[in-house]
């Protein structure tokens, strides 16, 4: 790489030539604000201050987060944090840019901005290496290197996106409410993000919420879950266990093995049976005895899903559940959520994954300009 032995060359020397974006961007952050974080890599290269300022400004604009320059990173959504990590890598102007699932939490605008920036860099002579499960946002790469079971496979071309089987239209008219929002406004602190939401979820219904990074999807999900209070309006939930998957699934995993995590949930919920059926449904049987902290992001995501879905919850709220997942894992997730809905559970998903939304959502809504609106993909209720 750049004429350097990646095993023998010190990291400080490689860093002058190679930029890297982690699957979990948060682990690389060292500064408190967006602008300072984006400047950090360029500062460590010893560049003149005027060059750093120019690169930071260009990187922020390329990543579509110029308006966030003064914001504290702790106040950002998962997708916004991912854009910060991308901008920080772009600001180094590295000859080689390596990215691990860089679009997993980006909205359509962010994905388009990133694709354009990467194509521009490639045309300027930079080498771009991307590890990705979803190809629909990349167009045709110059080279495709498929891998399976630790081996590089012969390239068959881009795999087709698995559309799955859309759910049959169902009517939820007159069904008892599993949860409801009446005139609800949610926000961070006293700053509203989504206003005047009146919405009801029925047992067996899957509602999908989409929208731009930072629009308020996570905040709305947390309000439905009861993890934060609305700024206005009322929230009601029927009795029963609530399962919530945050964007950072690692915060749920503390036991020594995946199996132990699931068994803990089953004990707390008082549900009958063991962990084996949940492990099989989500394709985790082979890693059941692994420490969750040693897993890849996608495997950790599935482990966290197994933990929250165990014990037949009555309300399931998932924030970007397909983050880091390959096709097989996404199919397992769809099957698990169909099972939850089929047994009367109410499901709410916040996601940028259009395929998942179309495949599972009985109702698909979008947050636009602080309002929750229909996307035209609402199925019969």
Question: pLDDT tens-digit profile of 260-276?
Answer: 999 999 998 888 778 99
Judge whether 254 and 289 are in contact, CB under 8 Å. no
Helix (H) or strand (E) holding 181: strand 179-188
- Amino acid 144: pLDDT: 79
pLDDT band for 189, please (50, 70, 90 cuts). Answer: confident
DSSP 8-state class, residue 18: E
Query: For residue range 209-250, what is the model confidence (pLDDT) as tens digits?
Result: 999 888 999 999 999 999 999 999 999 999 999 999 998 888
Q: Which of 205, 217, 127, 211 is nearest to 169 (CA)?
A: 205
- Amino acid 81: pLDDT: 87
- Amino acid 49: pLDDT: 93
Query: How many CB atoms are located within 10 Å of the residue 253 CB?
Result: 17
The DSSP result for 302-315, as a single string, is HHHHHHHHTT--SE
- Amino acid 379: pLDDT: 44
Residue carrying structure tokens 């700053």: 191
Residue that wins the pLDDT comparison between 194 and 281: 194
Query: How many CB atoms are located within 10 Å of the residue 6 CB?
Result: 10
**Environment class of residue 248 by beta-carbon count within 10 Å: exposed (0-12), middle (13-18) or buried (19+)?**
middle
Measure the CA–CA gap between 298 and 48, rounded to whole angstroms: 39
Which domains occur in the chain, in start order? Answer: 11-152 (3.40.50.300), 179-374 (3.40.50.300)
Task: Compute CA distances 225 → 127, 149, 158, 219, 240, whole Å.
Answer: 44, 38, 39, 10, 12
Is residue 381 over pLDDT 50? Answer: no
* Mean pLDDT value of segment 271-286: 87
- At 365, phi and psi to the nearest 5? -120, 160
pLDDT band for 332, please (50, 70, 90 cuts). Answer: confident
Query: How many CB atoms are located within 10 Å of the residue 9 CB?
Result: 16
Q: Which of 105-119, 129-143, 262-276 has the lowest mean pLDDT?
A: 129-143
- Amino acid 380: pLDDT: 40
Judge whether 39 and 66 are in contact, CB under 8 Å. no
* Mean pLDDT value of segment 350-358: 89
- Amino acid 249: pLDDT: 83
- Amino acid 346: pLDDT: 95
Measure the CA–CA gap between 297 and 104, rounded to whole angstroms: 11
């Amino acid at each position: 790489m750049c004429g350097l032995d990646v095993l023998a060359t010190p990291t400080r020397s490689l860093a002058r030539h190679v930029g890297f974006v982690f699957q979990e961007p948060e682990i690389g952050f060292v500064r408190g604000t967006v602008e300072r974080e984006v400047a950090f890599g360029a500062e460590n290269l010893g560049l003149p201050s005027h060059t750093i300022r120019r690169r930071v400004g260009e990187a922020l604009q390329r990543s579509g987060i110029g308006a966030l320059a003064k914001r504290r990173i702790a106040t950002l959504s998962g997708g916004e944090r991912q854009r910060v990590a991308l901008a920080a890598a772009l600001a180094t102007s590295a000859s080689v840019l390596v990215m691990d699932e860089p679009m997993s939490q980006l909205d359509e605008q962010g994905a388009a901005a990133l694709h354009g920036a990467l194509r521009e860099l490639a045309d300027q002579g930079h080498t771009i290496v991307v590890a990705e499960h979803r190809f629909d946002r990349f167009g045709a790469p110059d080279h495709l290197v498929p891998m399976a079971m630790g081996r590089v496979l012969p390239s068959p071309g881009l795999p087709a996106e698995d559309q799955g089987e859309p759910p049959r239209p169902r009517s939820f008219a007159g069904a008892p409410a599993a949860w409801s929002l009446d005139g609800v406004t949610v926000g961070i602190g006293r700053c509203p993000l989504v206003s005047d939401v009146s919405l009801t979820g029925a047992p067996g219904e899957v509602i999908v919420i989409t929208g731009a990074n930072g629009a308020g999807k996570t905040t709305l999900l947390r309000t439905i879950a009861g993890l934060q209070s609305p700024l206005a309006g009322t929230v009601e939930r029927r009795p029963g266990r609530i399962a919530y998957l945050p964007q950072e699934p690692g915060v749920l995993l503390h036991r020594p093995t995946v199996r132990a995590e699931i068994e803990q949930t089953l004990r707390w919920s008082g549900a009958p049976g063991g962990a084996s059926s949940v492990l099989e449904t989500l394709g985790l049987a082979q890693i059941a005895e692994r420490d969750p902290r040693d897993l890849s992001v996608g495997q950790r995501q599935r482990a966290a899903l197994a933990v929250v879905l165990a014990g037949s919850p009555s309300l399931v709220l998932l924030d970007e559940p397909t983050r880091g997942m390959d096709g097989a894992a996404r199919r397992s997730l769809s099957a698990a959520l169909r099972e939850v809905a089929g047994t009367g559970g109410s499901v709410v998903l916040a996601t940028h994954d259009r395929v998942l939304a179309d495949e599972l959502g009985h109702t698909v809504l979008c947050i636009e300009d602080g309002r929750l609106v229909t996307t035209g993909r609402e199925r019969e209720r």
